[in-house]
A and B are shown apart, each in its own frame.
Chain A
Amino acid sequence: MRIHCTLNGAPREIDVDPLDRALDVLRRLGFTGTKEGCGEGECGACTVLLDGAPVNACLVIASQVDGCRVTTIEGLAQSGDLAPVQRAFIERGATQCGICTPGMLLSADYLLSEVRATDARPDESGRFDVDAMRAWAATGADREPSHAGGVLDAAVEREIRTCLAGNICRCTGYDSIVRAVKDAVRETMAKAIQASK
């Protein structure tokens, strides 16, 4: 079948077997930043954003990509400018072997998009405790939070770890990843607070 989607901002028509894995379709098209780890939805290495939300590309059939907006790691930087999470990962050295990095970045970027989302959905409430993140950012929290970083710091860290729970880093470099995402949350939240003034 032929599917239509918006892939990293560009409209695409792709011929697929409807039961192909989205992962294979993307890699065939050259988007090899989408990694195959376990192939069964455990590790998150193949995470892509489907209509803005993280999914395991190894579990999504090509048929269901029809009509969707797909973002792979190749589409995270906008016209050459790295996304806030990408800059934060570089600054914090939050990579080791790198296999989990594309998926980690896309999941973290989803957290930032939830932080930025201001449009209230009347019959739904958000998944993350954005209020705690806002309060934390407003305190001008220390850039090097100690382990005794306080209640808000713990709340923010919990939200980040929840968001990244489906991405496994077998080098176990989680601490620097969480620190990097904290930096990106702080930056994004500061901008949102600034914009609302």
Chain B
Amino acid sequence: MTEFFKPSTLAEALAILRDRQDRPPRPIAGGTDLMLELRDPVRRARINAVVDIWQLSELRRIVEDSGVLRIGALATFSDLIANLLVRRAAPMLAEISRAIGGIQIQNRGTVGGNIGTGSPAGDTLPVLLAHDAEIVLASTAGERSVRARDFYTGYRSSVRRPDELIAAVRIPRRRANFAHHRKVGTRRAQAISKVLVAMRGERRGDGAFDEIAIGIGSVAATPVRAANVEALVTAHRGPWDEAALTALQLELARDIHPIDDLRSTARYRSTVTFNILRRALIGARA
């Protein structure tokens, strides 16, 4: 029998997590991920308790404060699509939310859930990486922030402690005159990504990049920041000729480690990721 808690405040929810660290309950928000585990008897047997956090309105707010956009963990994909602060400060986040599931999923799925499930195919995660976002973890001891790039430690595992709840994501305001994202799936709606690339940076008139951040999904055990590609791109001057593109491909191979699975193959994922980067960089010069 799965135990069930329905705290009415964040403080109450955090106290439940603190008191049960030896057998941590699973938080449930919109349920679009956890319900799949609950319906499977084998996976359900591993869930000893569930904490319903959907009603914690303090986790739903979207506010901008001294240049930082703070999006509550319970903001749904529909909220991200509609919210004007998000559309202004992080338009890619609003746009990628439209590509998640269909409207039914967008109405229930949350950014905190996307982070918490931590699937390498979580569609908001490459965008958060490209924004150099921070994930805010709350516990009875207070809040701490972890950079999105340091959050995952392995496949679906993160630095979140069992007494912590994902409370919000913080997106710092950072100048960027270049942004590009591309989701590759079998179809436009209701499709899990084969590859998702999100790029954000500052480029000069001559096309050279002073800064670039690249997040890529579905190409490793966790969503990745393409640090080696980024270093190459910011050091690069001149046209993206064949030699430069070969170098790019080599750096990319150090950043991503795709696998063959039921949705795609490693080779396809590598090729497509490279093509997306190549087109974006060549296009950026034009």
Binding site for B on A (CB under 8 A): 1, 18-19, 21, 39-42, 44, 47, 50, 53-56, 58-61, 63-64, 107, 110, 121, 123-127, 162-168
Contact = CB atoms under 8 A, between A and B. Distances in A.
Contacts of A39: 39
B190 A166 contact: yes
Contacts of A107: 103-104
B82 A127 contact: yes
Interface string B83-127: 111010000000000100111110110000000000000000000
A53 B78 contact: yes
A124 B6 contact: no
B102 to A, nearest CB: 2
Contacts of B50: 19
B84 to A, nearest CB: 5
B144 interface: no
- Determine the main DSSP class of A at the interface with B: loop
A59 B78 contact: no
Interface stretch (B28-36, B170-178, B233-241): B28-36
B101 A64 contact: no
Contact of A19 (B32, B38, B55, B188): B38
B4 interface: yes
Given A18-B4, A42-B190, A63-B6, A166 B36 contact: no
Interface in B68-84: 78, 81-84
B78 A125 contact: no
A181 B6 CA distance: 39
Contact of A127 (B4, B52, B55, B81): B81
A74 B283 CA distance: 52
B6 A58 contact: no
B52 A41 contact: no
B104 A166 contact: yes
Nearest to B107: A53
B104 A127 contact: no
Given A63-B52, A125-B82, A58 B188 contact: no
A136 B189 CA distance: 25
A59 B2 CA distance: 17
Nearest to A166: B102
A165 B6 contact: no
Contacts of A21: 35, 39
B84 A166 contact: no
Given A21-B35, A63-B6, A167-B102, A123 B83 contact: yes
B54 interface: yes
Contact of B4 (A47, A63, A165): A63
A96 B84 CA distance: 40
Interface of B: 2, 4, 6, 28, 30-32, 35-36, 38-39, 50, 52, 54-55, 78, 81-85, 87, 98, 101-105, 107-108, 188-190
Given A44-B104, A54-B103, A63-B6, A165 B54 contact: no
Nearest to A53: B107
A41 B104 contact: yes
A59 B102 contact: no
Contacts of B85: 123
Contacts of A61: 28, 31, 35, 52
Interface centre among B32, B85, B105, B188 (most CB of A within 10 A): B105
Given A54-B104, A127-B82, A41 B32 contact: yes
Interface centre among B30, B81, B87, B104 (most CB of A within 10 A): B104
Interface centre among A50, A125, A166 (most CB of B within 10 A): A166
Contacts of A58: 35
Task: List the 6 closest pairs (A to B, CB-CB), nearest first.
Answer: A166-B102, A165-B189, A124-B82, A165-B102, A166-B104, A59-B35
Given A19-B38, A64-B31, A55 B104 contact: yes
A56 B105 contact: yes
A39 B40 CA distance: 11
Contacts of A50: 107
A155 to B, nearest CB: 15
Nearest to B94: A125
A54 B105 CA distance: 9
Contact of B103 (A18, A63, A121, A165): A165
B102 A40 contact: no
A110 B104 CA distance: 11
B104 A56 contact: yes
